[in-house]
A = this chain, B = another copy of it.
Amino acid sequence: MKLSSVIGVAAMAAAGVMMAVPAAAQFAKPEDAIKYRQSAFTVMAAHFGRIGAVVKGEAPYGPSVAADAKIVETMSHLPFPAFVDGTDSGDTGARPEIWKNRAKFDAAAENMQKAVAELAKVAASGDEGALKGAFGVAGKACKDCHDDFRKRR
């Protein structure tokens, strides 16, 4: 490793210490982390599903779409810091691949977060015609990550 990289990593680490408690320290027990991330996904899925109902014509288009999309966007950032080491077993649908290929998992998460941010943007704009497309892209991002990293239940 070059010296500049070492300094860079050290600086980032120092900044991290000042800015935030390490993710693992946020949870007293592994099962707390598991319950937390499952809860965040449950809330996200519920509001995503409400937008889905609108897209499918089962519920009317209205301001609730933007509110739901905003909640989905907020929730989309929460689960991932809870995939800490030691939470790959127990009552979890997480596959070991998450920890074996963290870079791919993180990229899939980021892909979803971007898609969901775009969905929230479209929903906030009130452009009903663009909703279905943005919802589809976000739904595919969810599915892609589930296919690779979530156990079949």
Contact = CB atoms under 8 A, between A and B. Distances in A.
Given A59-B21, A74-B71, A43 B50 contact: no
Kindly name the residue among A19, A21, A74 whose own CB sees the greatest number of chain B CB atoms within 10 A: A21
A36 B42 contact: yes
Interface string A30-73: 00100110111011001000100100000110111000000100
12 contacts: A19-B63, A19-B64, A20-B64, A21-B53, A21-B60, A25-B59, A26-B46, A26-B50, A27-B46, A38-B39, A43-B43, A43-B75
Interface of A: 18-21, 25-27, 32, 35-36, 38-40, 42-43, 46, 50, 53, 59-60, 62-64, 71, 74-75, 78
